[in-house]
Amino acid sequence: MTETPPRRLLFVEDDDAGREMGAFNLRGAGYLVDVAASGEQGLARFSAAEHDLVLTDLRLPGKSGLEVLRAVKQRAPEVPVLVITAFGSVEAAVEAMRGGAYDFIEKPFARDRLLLTVQRALEHRALRAEVCSLRRHARGVERPIVAIAEGMRRVLEIADRVAPSDASVLVTGETGTGKELVARRIHARSSRADGPLVVINCAAIPAELMESELFGHEKGAFTGAVRARPGRFRQADGGTVFLDEVAELPLALQGKLLRALQERVVDPVGADEPIAVDARVIAATNQDLARRVGEGLFREDLYYRLDTIAIAIPPLRQRREDIEPLARHFVAAFSGGRDLELGEPLLGELRSRLWPGNVRQLEHACERLVLLCPGGELRREDLPPVADGADGPSAGPEAGEWPALPEEGLGLVDLEKRVIERVLALKRGNVTQTAAYLRVPRHILAYRMAKYGIRRN
């Protein structure tokens, strides 16, 4: 069982003796304590990611304790603040409580009074966090993310830290790594959690309908527009827009998206005036947007606007510690209450594969294992077969090996055609699965197939 790490507190007090005694008592109770002798020093040392609680004297040189309180609440509303007041300073204590302080302690304070007040504040924070978590899951927006690997835990830490802000977020990663799950987590933990989360797959909407789909249209704006439509951005007013596969957004519409981000307005097709919209934007892509900017396929100004906060999700092969807990999570989800065992031979096979389709591929494999399981133990032989050269512990560039190159040269067009044909055969003519395997949008694969005269068979 994982041991809960000790709580870290920030204690701001200009009186040397009071600061030393208070910190001594808090450390003796098992807390980690950072100290500061002024308001400016305290705010410089404060970290929303590290500090679980702040104690501050109200009378400080320079910035007052009330200013420290307001700054902490602005940067991290969930962090409780306890204020220390002189005996009888009821008015100052009331003002602090109105400003968001959890409680106040009068000087001179006893050790037991200090520790009890800190304990209650931390328990109150934990209870509020639990209630918020239950509400998020009840709304069905946030989905569980299984992660023990350091790289993925760092992703979740960044997501949680940026969630309270309104900054645009760009989530990158290969197909199947969980980009939408991270976007849902950010929305669910933001101040917009009670608003809608509108998911838009830019690769699934025909280019000619994209503008109307995103920004809406007026009645009669074009042939077939028999009624007005608000568009996805207006549907997300007060909430979040998740633009999946944003690299597929047509170049002609990227300027309108930039305007929506910067001006917080949309221009419906056929409308005379722009309409104000308050929606946060989270975008995701499995492509290199910087490279697409260099190729002239993506606007540079839009790229930098979306890339305010960048979150890169590592592929499953780079976080192998997550394979076993993920497999157990998926098996439990698909088992229907059956008590199914994952033996070491099966777990060893799961850990040895490269999983080019990432977590989504592992999920599908676990579903297959459960469906084909005749008894109480999942069988290694029920795993999906491995494509030649596509998986296994020594396959491809992940293992540092590449196939030998012919001396007479190699045609990239011919190579691409042969790869598409081979994967298409592997996926039994399923274009959607082939596109996912090759990590390209379906319509791009369909274009390449038409270009090379490749049929499904």
Residue with structure tokens 């009330």? 66
pLDDT tens for each residue of 227-240: 888 999 999 999 99
Q: Is 171 helix (H, G, I), strand (E, B) or coil?
A: strand
Residue 414 has pLDDT above 80, yes or no: no
Task: Band the pLDDT of 435: cuts 50, 70, 90.
Answer: confident
Sorted by sequence, the CB contacts under 8 Å of residue 23 that are 6+ apart come out as 11, 33, 35
Q: Which two tokens stand for residue 397?
A: 């560039």
Encode pLDDT of 20-76 as tens digits.
999 999 999 999 999 999 999 999 999 887 899 999 999 898 899 999 999 998 888
CATH of 8-135, one of 3.40.50.300, 3.30.465.10, 3.40.50.2300, 1.10.260.30: 3.40.50.2300
| Secondary-structure class of domain 316-394 per CATH | mainly alpha
Identity at 113, one-letter amino acid code = R
What pLDDT is recorded for position 376? 85
Q: Give the other-Cβ count within 10 Å of 19's Cβ.
A: 18
Q: Which amino acid is at 8?
A: R
**Pairwise CA distance, residues 213 & 243, whole Å:** 12
Task: Compute the CA torsion angle 157, 163, 164, 170 (nearest 10 deg).
Answer: 120
Q: Between helices 431-438 and 442-452, what is the axis angle to 10°?
A: 100
292 sits in which H/E element = helix 289-294
Where along the chain do the CATH 1.10.8.60 domains lie? Answer: 316-394
Domain 150-312 has CATH 3.20.20.70: no
Gap between the Cα atoms of 54 and 34, Å rounded: 10
d(CA 87, CA 359): 59
CATH 1.10.10 given to domain 412-452: yes
CATH 1.10.10 in the chain, residue ranges: 412-452
- DSSP 8-state assignment for residue 321: G
Two tokens, residue 192: 């917009």
Give tens-digit pLDDT for 339-375.
899 999 999 999 989 899 999 999 999 999 999 988 8
Percent of the chain whose pLDDT exceeds 90: 50
DSSP code of residue 449: H
Question: Where exactly does CATH 3.40.50.2300 map onto the chain?
Answer: 8-135
Q: How many CB atoms lie within 10 A of CB 330?
A: 20
Q: Is the pLDDT of residue 88 over 50?
A: yes
Higher pLDDT, 128 or 287: 287
What pLDDT score does 87 carry? Answer: 60
Residue type (1 letter), 70? R
Does residue 368 or residue 403 have the better pLDDT? 368
DSSP state of 181: H
Three-class SS state of 77: coil
Predicted pLDDT of residue 394: 37
Q: Identify the bridge partners of residue 56 per DSSP, sorted by sequence position.
A: 12, 83
What pLDDT score was predicted for residue 400? 40
Asked if 358 and 175 count as a contact pair (C-beta separation under 8 A), the reply is: yes
Provide CATH 3.40.50.300 ranges for the chain. Answer: 150-312
User: Peptide bond preceding 441: is omega within 30 degrees of 0, i.e. cis?
Assistant: no
| Of the candidate ranges 108-112, 236-240, 273-277, 424-428, the one whose mean pLDDT is the lowest | 424-428
C-alpha to C-alpha distance for 91 and 345, rounded to whole angstroms: 69
User: Does residue 312 register a pLDDT over 90?
Assistant: yes
